[in-house]
Amino acid sequence: MKIRSIAAWTGTAALAFTLAACGQITGGAPTPSAPSTCVVPSGVQTQVLYPIPGATAVPDSTVQIVFAISTPLPGWGAAWSTNTNANYGLGFQTITAGQVPSPSATPSFANPIYVSSTLTTSLPAASLVSVFLNNLNSTCIPVSANASFTTQ
């Protein structure tokens, strides 16, 4: 697994979020100083199941993020970010539906594959945590999983 600078990713992600909020992102080829965002393969469906998107009071001792995916994503894992912290999870491990922690969201598509990414650090307390998908075989910026939750 390639180790990337969390500080560089946080700064780049913060800039991207700021520009997106201001409507300033435009198309164009990535440059070495502005790596591209990871792209989930075409047709692959993903959904965060745990912690439930939008949940509040999620324990900061949470040790995994669980997804439902429609097709295996070897070499991928989760990442998370707050306005002051960012970190990467380990690569996805396939789990059974019975291993998904409770409470969790229900997959919105048929025949999901359940995968878990173990977090490498604790989540910060009293924070809005955004969830991302991360291609561990690339230097791309993790792509939003369109999910967030708030820790206690």
Domain count of the chain? 1
pLDDT at 48 over 70: yes
Residue at 95 is within a domain: yes
15-44 pLDDT per residue, tens: 344 333 333 333 344 445 678 999 999 999
97-136 pLDDT per residue, tens: 999 999 999 999 999 999 999 999 999 999 999 999 999 9
Q: Residue with structure tokens 């965060």?
A: 48
* Whole-number pLDDT of residue 35: 85
The two tokens of residue 89 are: 């999870």
Q: What are phi and psi of 78, to 5 degrees?
A: -100, 160
Residue at 1 is within a domain: no
**Burial 37-67, CB ≥16 within 10 A → b, else e:** ebebeeeeebbbbbbbeebeebeeebebbbb
Residue at 40 is within a domain: yes
- Work out the mean pLDDT of the chain and round it to a whole number: 84
* Whole-number pLDDT of residue 9: 45
pLDDT at 12 over 50: no
Q: What angle do CA 26, 130, 27 make, to 5 degrees?
A: 10
- pLDDT confidence of 69, banded at 50, 70, 90? very high
- Assign residue 41 the CATH number of its domain: 2.60.40.1220
Helix (H) or strand (E) holding 86: strand 86-91
Q: Residue 38: give the domain boundaries.
A: 6-150
The two tokens of residue 76 are: 């991928």
